[in-house]
Amino acid sequence: MPDYSDDFLKGILQRTKVIAVVGVSMNPVRPSYYVARYLGLKGFRVIPVNPGHAGKALFGETVRGSLSEISEPVDMVDIFRRSEAVPPIVDEALERFPRLRTIWMQIGVENEQAADKAQVRGIDVVMNRCPKIEYQRLFGELRMGGFATGIISSKL
C-alpha cells in the first residue's frame, strides 16, 4: 500500500469541498454508497457518478452518467472502480476539471500510469485508501477500543 503522511491526507480532506464519486451504488449496503453518504453527512458536496443509474436522485443530487455530465467545479474524484478501469476515468477528469486538486482511488484500487499522468499535472493522488476511513482516523472519529478489538466497552 502506498505510504502517505497524515498531514498530506488531512490537507486534502480539509481543502476539499466537492467530490465526484465514480462508481457509486444505489444499494445502501455497498461501500460506495455508505462512503459517499458519510462524506455528504460530513459537509462535502457529493456528486454521484454511475452510468447505470444516471438521472436518478441520490443524496439530494442527480446521478450523472459520466464526469463529463458535471458542469460545476470538482475538487476531488473518488474512484470506486477496478484498477484497470482507472485510466479513462482519470483522463476524463483531467479534461473536464481544470481546477481538480485530487484523484482518490479506493481500497484495492491502484493504477500507477494514471497516477503519474495526474501528478505531472500537479494533482495529488491517493491510491488504495478510503476517504471515510482516513477522515475518521485523522479527525478523531475512529475508536480503537471496544468494537475494533472485539471487546464491548460500556463507554461506547
Burial 1-40 (b: 16+ CB within 10 A, else e): eeebeeeebbebbeebeebbbbbbbeeeeebbbebbbbbb
Residue 156: inside a domain: no
Residue 53: inside a domain: yes
Residue 115: inside a domain: yes
Q: Give me the percent of the chain exceeding a pLDDT of 70.
A: 90
Confidence of residue 95 (pLDDT cuts 50, 70, 90): very high
> What CATH number did the domain enclosing 124 receive?
3.40.50.720
Q: What is the pTM of this model?
A: 0.89
Residue 11: inside a domain: yes
Residue 155: inside a domain: no
> How high is the mean pLDDT of the chain?
91
pLDDT in tens, 60-91: 999 999 999 999 999 999 999 999 999 999 99
Domain that holds residue 115: 6-148
pLDDT in tens, 33-54: 999 999 999 999 999 999 999 9
